[in-house]
Chains A and B, each alone.
Chain A
Amino acid sequence: MSRETTPREDLLRGVWRENPVLVQMLGLCPSLAVTNSVANSLAMGLATFFVLVGSSLLVSSLRKLVPHEVRISTSILVIATFVTVADMALEALVPEIHKALGAFIALIVVNCIILGRQEAFASRRPVGRSLLDAAGTGAGFLVALVLIGGVREVVGSGSFLGVPLFGEHYQPWVVMILPPGGFLTLGFLLISLAALARRRERLAAEARRRATRGELATEGA
């Protein structure tokens, strides 16, 4: 991307059009491992959001002080520091969720989305833009996690955020909250998104064809 981007683009790009999980297929491990309920997805998404924004802030403010050769190691150390903070904060504030997420909080360090944003954006852009970019990407990750977690919890336990939806006769698809459900949910989500994109393309092509035909008709008349 050599073209200059506007601040608005920096913020919005990561949320949907270049969504880290659904489009770029990054950070798959956490987005499948902890999304068996909406609450866990939210906690994981918010923790990652915090680490991403914090690291981007620090990495981009230090970008002129850090020699180019050691920028990746520096980024990793910064990320690891913020992950330690997030780990301790979650343990103190919401111990049940911290227990449910287990080692995956610590594993935010190796989430490639975060290192990717530091390397591609924060280590070479001013602080403000980097913060926007990090917030957008973090929000995109949160959206994807809640989407996957929502599908899995509604289908797999018949509830949303712990509130039962279907009454007591609903037979939950237990497989959806077990590990295979993670793969299947993301797989079918990607397939549905691809189907939607194709449909939109077809409709657009049809509209274009109709427009040209209309022009020809007016010219003929």
Chain B
Amino acid sequence: MGDLVWILLSAMVVNNFTLAMFLGLCPFMGVSGRVETALRMGLANIFVLLMTSLCAWTLETFVLVRFPFLRIIAFIVVIASLVQIVEMAIKKLSPTLFRQLGIYLPLITTNCAILGLALFQTSRGYSLVQGLFFALGAGLGLTLALVLMASIREELELHDPPAVARGMGLVLVVAGSLSMAFMGFAGMGSGA
């Protein structure tokens, strides 16, 4: 059990997917303007990450053991179809949620955090349960980073930065400081 909690915490804060491993930067830069949308994007990501973890594990255990050279192609195809299926399911089951998620859902396909999760889970040889905890941790970490960034950017709008720093430059420097704060967790648990 302690092992599972550790996998979750490690993926969430110590090796935060966005701020320490640079996975999923596109949504991090793109949809971190408002806290509410950031939260929604985070939740959609958690869901897709969990589904991907499940599919990637099944595929790896039953099919890809025999064809390891097909891994990249198989994963990307599965992720793309998965996102499409999730999209259709949500549209059918809860049109309200579907409208709220809007464009963010299809965008998840090209989010490298998803493919990254599938690849890391495979290369670390996680079991099914470990993989699911890893996915949950990664998703929570993404959501945490997105919401933190969005709150900072909402504050930034009230201030007046120098003209040259407006736009992405400033956002990146802020992300750097945020990432520095997360470095405080680095090395945690390596002695355990």
Q: Which of B120, B172, B175, B183 has the most CB of A within 10 A?
A: B172
Complex CA–CA separation, A75 to B175 (angstroms): 32
Contact indicator B73/A84 (Cβ below 8 Å): yes
Complex CA–CA separation, A48 to B25 (angstroms): 18
* In the complex, per-residue mask of A15-46: 1 if CB is within 8 Å of any chain B CB, else 0: 00000000001001110110000000000000
Q: Nearest chain A CB to B181's CB is how many angstroms away? A: 9
Q: Nearest chain B CB to A76's CB is how many angstroms away? A: 6
Contact indicator B180/A191 (Cβ below 8 Å): no
List CB contacts (< 8 Å) of A176-194 with chain B: 178-184, 186-188, 190-191, 194
- In the complex, whether B59 has a CB less than 8 A from a CB of chain A is no
A198: contacting residue among B77, B163, B173, CB under 8 A: B163
Contact indicator B21/A179 (Cβ below 8 Å): yes
Nearest A residue to B113 via CB reads: A29
Q: Nearest chain A CB to B173's CB is how many angstroms away? A: 4
- In the complex, whether B88 has a CB less than 8 A from a CB of chain A is no
A-side contacts of B72, CB under 8 Å? 80, 83-84, 87, 106, 109
- In the complex, whether B177 has a CB less than 8 A from a CB of chain A is yes
List CB contacts (< 8 Å) of B147-192 with chain A: 163-165, 167-173, 175-177, 179-180, 182-183, 186
- In the complex, whether A212 has a CB less than 8 A from a CB of chain B is no
- In the complex, whether A88 has a CB less than 8 A from a CB of chain B is yes
Contact indicator B180/A107 (Cβ below 8 Å): no
- In the complex, whether B132 has a CB less than 8 A from a CB of chain A is no
A-side contacts of B69, CB under 8 Å? 84, 88
A103: contacting residue among B119, B179, B183, CB under 8 A: B119
B-side contacts of A73, CB under 8 Å? 80
Nearest A residue to B70 via CB reads: A84
- In the complex, whether A203 has a CB less than 8 A from a CB of chain B is no
B-side contacts of A106, CB under 8 Å? 71-72, 115, 119
Complex CA–CA separation, A209 to B24 (angstroms): 47
- In the complex, whether B102 has a CB less than 8 A from a CB of chain A is no
* In the complex, per-residue mask of B58-74: 1 if CB is within 8 Å of any chain A CB, else 0: 00000000000111110
B-side contacts of A207, CB under 8 Å? none
Q: How many CB-defined contacts (below 8 Å) exist between A and B?
A: 117
Number of interface residues of A (CB under 8 A): 40
- In the complex, whether B23 has a CB less than 8 A from a CB of chain A is yes
B-side contacts of A178, CB under 8 Å? 183, 186
B169: contacting residue among A28, A88, A102, A190, CB under 8 A: A190
A-side contacts of B25, CB under 8 Å? 28-29, 32
- In the complex, whether A211 has a CB less than 8 A from a CB of chain B is no
Q: Which of B25, B170, B171 has the most CB of A within 10 A?
A: B25
- In the complex, whether A77 has a CB less than 8 A from a CB of chain B is yes
Contact indicator B77/A179 (Cβ below 8 Å): no
- In the complex, whether B43 has a CB less than 8 A from a CB of chain A is no
Contact indicator A29/B119 (Cβ below 8 Å): no
Contact indicator B175/A80 (Cβ below 8 Å): no
Complex CA–CA separation, A32 to B180 (angstroms): 14
Contact indicator A33/B22 (Cβ below 8 Å): yes
- In the complex, whether B94 has a CB less than 8 A from a CB of chain A is no
- Sampled A-B contacts (30; CB under 8 Å): A29-B24, A29-B26, A29-B112, A30-B22, A33-B23, A76-B76, A83-B72, A87-B72, A102-B123, A103-B116, A106-B119, A110-B110, A112-B26, A175-B183, A179-B19, A179-B20, A179-B21, A180-B177, A182-B179, A183-B172, A184-B172, A184-B173, A187-B176, A188-B169, A190-B168, A190-B172, A191-B169, A194-B165, A194-B167, A194-B169
